[in-house]
Amino acid sequence: MKLARVVGKVVLSTQVEAYVAKPLHIIQDLNEDLEPVGDLEVCATWQAMEEGDLVIVEVAREAANAFQPPAPVDAVILGKVESVHIDRGEI
């Protein structure tokens, strides 16, 4: 599981049935200093987010279980983060 920022969304004109009415977001991973790191990814979400939101993301086959019935996705946003607390003194 990791922290990321929502930087956009993807809209499909044609999709398999399981993706109908499922918002898709583009996310950017963040490091401990909340700086962008790595490549952009597309992921599903259990609830629509807004651009700029910090989010909790799970990238794994278990992402499918965020939906009922399970959806054929491999990455999902599980929550919207209000604040991040890092204790540098303990690193």
Partner 1 sequence: MRVCRVIGHVVATAKHPAIQGKKILVVADSAERGDPDKPMGLAVDGVGAGVGNEVLVVESGEAGSQVTGVDHAPVRSVVIGIVD
Say how far apart CA 8 and CA 48 lie, in whole Å. Answer: 11
Tokens of residue 68, six digits: 């009922």
Among 6, 24, 25, 30, binds partner 1 (CB under 8 A): 30
DSSP state letter for 34: S
For position 39 contacting partner 1 by CB under 8 A, the verdict is: no
Tokens of residue 75, six digits: 């990455």
Shortest distance, position 51 Cβ to partner 1, whole Å: 16
Selected range binding partner 1 among 8-16, 17-25, 35-43, rule: CB under 8 A: 35-43
Alpha carbons within 13 angstroms on the beta-carbon side of residue 91 total: 6
Binding residues for partner 1, rule: CB under 8 A, are 1-4, 29-35, 37-38, 46-47, 54, 56, 58, 60-66, 70, 76, 78-87, 90-91
